[in-house]
Amino acid sequence: MAKTDIFESQLAALTDRIERLEAELRRKDERIAALEARFDSHDDRLDSHADRFDDHTQRLEDHETTLEDCQTNSTTTAKQTKAALKKANTNKTRLRELQSRELEKGAHLRAATVDEHELDVRGDRLERITKDDGRPYFRLPEHTDPLDRNDVSLAYGDLLPIQQLARMDDDMLRSTTNALPTRLAAKLWRARTDSSVGDDPWNTGCNSIREYVKASELKHWIRRREPGTSEAYAKKLVSRTIDAMLDLSKHRVAVRKRTERKNGLEYTERRLIVPQDAEIPGETTRTDEGSPETADVLG
């Protein structure tokens, strides 16, 4: 082989090697560039985390300052609360003493403002009464109101049985008596005296009658109060409810028969009446000046 051929062969080999080395160098340059880019990215993220850490550190310091302020305020509030409670207890003691003195002078105090278990009064006993305003009061037993008000003072025991039952709510009334006519009589009386009930079958009377309710109207009222009651059973309940009302009112109410005319026919119907002169505790006799009504026909 000629020397020229040998040199050419060696030159070609060197050229290939240089090309391979250049390609490898380019790859390394590219890898270095990629690593530098990742490094820069990590630097940026590290700077961001450092900023966030600084923010959290500042917020933590702020919270610690706020906590210290809250603790200081809490201590101050606790002291103020303790002082307020001490003052309240002192005022409560003074109030109990004043209430006890007023009760011993004969005062009637509204029940909502009195803690009857805390008062020191003669005999250690208070009487709960209800006045004409419908509100409960406390007084020493049998002490009349020294202010000479027009209100009628009534102890619970002074009320008629029907009045006592009418003051009960439905649950208490149901637990007090199992007799449906008794409960209906109590609700009927409540409808007469409490305008908030709404369903009131009573009518205003005249002359010697203060108020009345017809047996026929009472039947419809019972069916409204006791849904599902048949007409036949409602008729029986009318008689039983009237009997209960007579008994529980201690015959302050009465039954009268009246002849009426409908469709050209006469018929006699019972009426449950409250006489004008009926002595009902807590109620005064009312005289209505309305137009006169046809006189009752007694049967």
The ranges assigned to domains in the chain are 159-275
- Among the ranges 34-48, 149-163, 211-225, 256-270, which has the highest mean pLDDT value? 211-225
- CA-wise closest residue to 236 among 211, 215, 259: 215
pLDDT value at position 217? 93
Instruction: Please give the average per-residue pLDDT across 257-277, as a whole number.
Output: 86
pLDDT value at position 152? 45
The beta strand positions in 9-144, using DSSP E, are 109-110, 127-130, 136-139
- Cβ neighbors of 137 (< 8 A, separation 6 or more) are 108, 109, 110, 111, 128, 129, 130, 131, 153
pLDDT value at position 242? 95
- Among the ranges 95-99, 182-186, 275-279, which has the highest mean pLDDT value? 182-186
Instruction: Please give the average per-residue pLDDT across 163-170, as a whole number.
Output: 87
Evaluate if residue 165 carries a pLDDT over 80: yes
Evaluate if residue 264 carries a pLDDT over 50: yes
- Cβ neighbors of 116 (< 8 A, separation 6 or more) are 126, 138
> What does the alpha-carbon distance between residue 129 and residue 147 come to, in Å, rounded to a whole number?
16
149 CB neighbour count, 10 Å cutoff = 13
> What does the alpha-carbon distance between residue 54 and residue 110 come to, in Å, rounded to a whole number?
65
Q: Strand, coil or helix: what is 107?
A: coil
**Which of 40-44, 79-83, 127-131, 142-146 shows the lowest mean pLDDT across its residues?**
142-146
pLDDT value at position 261? 81
Read off the tokens for 182: 């008794």
Question: 116 or 175, which is more confident?
Answer: 175
pTM metric for this prediction: 0.48
**Which of 97-111, 143-157, 187-201 shows the lowest mean pLDDT across its residues?**
143-157
pLDDT value at position 74? 86
Instruction: Please give the average per-residue pLDDT across 2-24, as a whole number.
Output: 85
> What does the alpha-carbon distance between residue 106 and residue 137 come to, in Å, rounded to a whole number?
12
- Determine contact, residues 225/184, Cβ cutoff 8 Å: yes
Span 218-232, pLDDT tens digits: 999 999 989 999 999
Mean pLDDT of the chain: 82
First to last CA, the chain: 163
pLDDT value at position 154? 53
Evaluate if residue 137 carries a pLDDT over 90: no
